[in-house]
Amino acid sequence: MDNNLNQAVFAAMVAMVGVLVTLIRVVGPVIDQIVELWVRKQLVQLDNRLPESWRGALREAAIFGAQAAEQAGLARLITNSATCKKQYAVAAAERWLQAQGYAIDMHTLGDAIEQVILLGLHIPPPPSRVRSISQPVL
């Protein structure tokens, strides 16, 4: 009797794992799309709150801050926790903005950095494999 009960419990557990894996495969892409839409909405709201000249500077500062935090994490200057990276990125972006003559609140800067990271704008593009017409073929 105990053996049948153990097999039934094991079969139920295997079935639950199968259901969870299926849910992750189905729901995962939907969640990704929802997050992307939310980020884009936040970016539009941020753009609407700032003048054009500030938008570009804020975006550049956010990219700079995110890249600086990523490099500092790789160099083990800071821990790779999200909180430490965000604090480092905000501080680096704030210094960059101050050097450019801008002053902005930390919440706006933090939001911009989160958007840059979620959209992957801080990741350098891969080198182009497109060859211009004037380049000779070797």
pLDDT at 78: 73
Q: Which two tokens stand for residue 58?
A: 């804020």
pLDDT at 50: 65
With b for 16 or more beta-carbon neighbours within 10 A and e for fewer, the 63-79 pattern comes to bbbbbbbbebbeeeebe
Q: Is the pLDDT of residue 137 over 60?
A: no
Pick left, alpha or beta for residue 81 (phi over 0 → left; psi -120 to 50 → alpha; otherwise beta): beta
pLDDT band at residue 129, thresholds of 50, 70 and 90? low
pLDDT, one tens digit per residue, over 1-53 is 677 878 888 888 888 888 888 888 888 788 888 888 887 787 777 667 667 77
pLDDT at 136: 45
pLDDT at 126: 55
Place of tokens 């941020």: 46
pLDDT at 95: 87
pLDDT, one tens digit per residue, over 79-100 is 767 778 888 888 888 888 888 8
Cα separation of 101 and 90, whole Å? 16
- Amino acid symbol at 89: A
pLDDT, one tens digit per residue, over 55-64 is 778 888 888 8
Reference 118, options 62, 76, 71; nearest CA is 62
With b for 16 or more beta-carbon neighbours within 10 A and e for fewer, the 39-53 pattern comes to beeebeebeeebeee
Q: Is the pLDDT of residue 75 over 80?
A: no
Cα separation of 110 and 120, whole Å? 15
